[in-house]
Amino acid sequence: MDPNFHNTGPSGSAPRKPETWRSCKEANKVIEMFYSEGNFYHDIYMEELANLAETSHKNVRDTLSRLRKKDERAGKYVPPPPKQMYEFTSEQRGALDQAFLVTPQMDSDGARELSEITGLTVKQINNWFCNQRRKADGRSAEKDKKRRERIREDMKKNGLGRVGTFRSEAVELFEKEYETMLQLEAIGGGKVRIPYTELVEKTGMERKKIRDWFSKRKGRDKRFLENMENTREVSPQNTQQNIQDILIKIVTQSGTLCSTDC
């Protein structure tokens, strides 16, 4: 067995950092020993460091920050803080919620006091209160909506946005063909073939896209008729004829072209 096996991390690849700071008898040396062993940030050890050093969370953070700045001035490498999503515990969230009910605007003294209670940083608390105020007055949703609109406008300006799938001329041609199809079906009583090949030649579009347009157009009328049937009774003898008459009336009298999402 590898003699260094027990000195490896959970993956078995990286050596474990020494943890002699846990057995340090001098409280005022705990944090410096913790730092000297390659622990630049308190991470999950805040509570344990504060207890061993017999100090507050704030002093733990401040001491580690002072040591990092000292190394940076000396030209030593100090890694950036780990970026990770912090998941509040139920106790922390409960304390924050109760404090927010008392005052949505947390001052610096209150934030420091809440930091001592929850173990969160003052910055985390201020950010949480800021986000809660946005949610409470709806600013967060409105801000997201405006941000999405700006992104869409920028994409269109840069030629990256989707302005429309079909040109207006093509949609107009499809609508006329659809109207003709309905009229012929009403007269003949059977299904009429759509001249896809001819439409491909006239528009220069792919056959599949044209088929999709007509399929969605039929689906829209079908949903409309289903809604009509739910609100009014239709005679069983005249159901098919009534459907055809309604479709022709919709297409003929509306004068409205189908949108690009048809």
Residues 178 and 250 in one domain: yes
> Is 243 found in the same domain as 182?
yes
Residues 115-157: tens digit of each pLDDT: 888 888 888 898 898 888 887 776 666 777 777 777 777 766 6
Q: List the CATH number of the domain containing 138.
A: 1.10.10.60
Q: Tell me how far apart the alpha carbons of residues 55 and 51 are, in angstroms, rounded to a whole number.
A: 7
Q: Which of 84, 78, 83 is nearest to 39 (CA)?
A: 78
Within-domain flag for 112? yes
Residue 18: what pLDDT?
67
228 falls within a domain? yes
Residues 185 and 244 in one domain: yes
Is pLDDT of 75 > 70?
yes
Read off the pLDDT band of 8 (50, 70, 90): very low
What are the residues whose beta carbons fall under 8 Å from the beta carbon of 109, sequence distance 6 or more? none
Q: How far apart are CA 128 and CA 108, in angstroms?
A: 14
Whether residues 206 and 176 share a domain: the answer is yes
What pLDDT is attached to residue 66?
Answer: 93
**Domain-embedded: residue 106:** yes
Point out the domain boundary residue: 40, 73, 106: 73
Whether 83 is in a domain gets the answer no
Q: What is the pLDDT of residue 250?
A: 55
CA–CA separation, 62 vs 75, rounded Å? 20
Give tens-digit pLDDT for 32-45.
Answer: 999 998 888 887 78
Do 178 and 246 lie in a common domain?
yes
15 and 69 co-located in one domain: yes
Residue 134 confidence (pLDDT): 80
Q: Is the pTM of this model over 0.75?
A: no
175 falls within a domain:
yes
| Same domain as 62, residue 9 | yes
Is residue 159 scored above 60 in pLDDT? Answer: no
Q: How much is the pLDDT for 234?
A: 45
Q: Assess whether 178 and 138 both reside in one domain.
A: no
Residue 14 has pLDDT above 50, yes or no: no
52 has pLDDT over 80: yes
Confirm whether 262 is domain-assigned: no
Of 13, 47, 73, which residue is a domain's last? Answer: 73
Residues 146 and 173 in one domain: no
Name every residue whose Cβ is closer than 8 Å to that of residue 246 and which is 6 or more positions away in sequence: 225, 228
Q: Are residues 178 and 244 in the same domain?
A: yes
The domain total for the chain is: 3
Give the range of the structural domain holding residue 67, as residue numbers without chain letter.
5-73
Same domain, 130 and 185: no
- Predicted confidence (pLDDT) per residue in 179-216, tens digit: 888 888 788 777 888 888 888 888 888 888 888 888 88
Same domain, 204 and 177: yes
Identify the domain boundary among 48, 73, 98: 73
- Give a yes or no: residue 36 inside a domain: yes
* DSSP element (H, E) containing 3: none
Q: Is 162 inside a domain boundary?
A: no
